[in-house]
């Protein structure tokens, strides 16, 4: 997988809801391998399959601490803390811009591995934010949707100045 195969904003697939994985086979393992390679080549902290043009519920995340990239199939946040925290977020699909996003500080994620075995992971802090960011992507929520309209418009203006391909109304949601 080459970084050039990553979708760039405002490709509509970045705002599409990904389909659940129902078959755990060699095709899924190949998708996971492509996604891991894309994370490592980007370099990125995490990517969702829609970033490489595949609308399937698969994410790959590089945990803090230097461990290898982990793959989560059909991840779902089944609990989130009331306590929140802000982290600087961005996307390989929108290089050169970032903004502070407030999210729950802790989450519990239910997922499957590549063999279809269920797992549960509790995460906090930055790792929790990364998981939420990538799961949002699977739900068709692009990270800038978490900004106020004014902050989103300013960020899009900055992105255009950097040579990003958007129109003034691209991806503006209420």
Q: How many domains does the chain have?
A: 1
Contacts from 28-35 at CB under 8 Å and sequence distance 24+? 28/58, 28/73, 28/114, 29/114, 31/56, 31/58, 32/58, 32/60, 32/71, 32/73, 32/114, 34/1, 35/1, 35/59, 35/60, 35/71
Q: Domain for residue 92, yes or no?
A: yes
Q: Could you give phi then psi for residue 71, rounded to 5 degrees?
A: -110, 135
**Alpha carbon 174 to its chain's center:** 21
Give me the CATH number covering residue 61.
Answer: 3.90.45.10
Q: Mean pLDDT, the chain, as a whole number?
A: 91
Q: Domain for residue 170, yes or no?
A: no
Of 142, 144, 141, 20, the C-alpha closest to 72 is 20
Q: Domain for residue 153, yes or no?
A: yes
Q: Domain for residue 141, yes or no?
A: yes
CB 88 within 8 A of CB 100: yes
pLDDT in tens, 82-134: 999 999 999 999 999 999 999 999 999 999 999 999 999 999 999 999 999 99
pLDDT in tens, 59-75: 999 987 667 899 999 99
Of 88, 91, 85, the C-alpha closest to 39 is 91
Task: Indicate the helix (H) or strand (E) that contains 39.
Answer: helix 26-41
Q: Domain for residue 19, yes or no?
A: yes
Q: Domain for residue 172, yes or no?
A: no
Q: Domain for residue 32, yes or no?
A: yes
Confidence tier at 171 by pLDDT (50, 70, 90): very low
Q: Could you give phi then psi for residue 157, rounded to 5 degrees?
A: -65, -45
DSSP 120: E
> What are the residue numbers of the active site?
134
Domain limits for position 126: 3-161
Q: Domain for residue 99, yes or no?
A: yes
């Amino acid at each position: 997988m080459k970084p050039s195969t990553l979708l760039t904003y405002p490709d509509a697939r970045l705002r599409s809801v990904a389909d659940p994985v129902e078959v755990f086979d060699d095709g899924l393992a190949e998708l996971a391998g492509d996604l891991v390679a894309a994370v490592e080549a980007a370099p990125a902290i995490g990517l969702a399959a829609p970033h490489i043009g595949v609308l399937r519920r698969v994410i790959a995340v590089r945990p803090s601490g230097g461990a290898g990239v982990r793959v989560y199939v059909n991840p779902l946040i089944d609990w989130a803390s009331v306590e929140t925290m802000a982290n600087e977020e961005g996307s390989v699909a929108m290089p050169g811009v970032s903004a502070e996003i407030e999210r729950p500080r802790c989450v519990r994620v239910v997922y499957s591995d590549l063999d279809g075995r269920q797992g549960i992971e509790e995460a906090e802090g930055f790792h929790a934010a990364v998981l939420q960011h990538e799961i949002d992507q699977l739900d068709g929520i692009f990270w800038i949707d978490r900004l106020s309209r004014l902050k989103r418009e300013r960020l899009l203006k900055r992105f255009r100045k950097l040579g990003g391909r958007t129109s003034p109304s691209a991806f503006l949601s209420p």
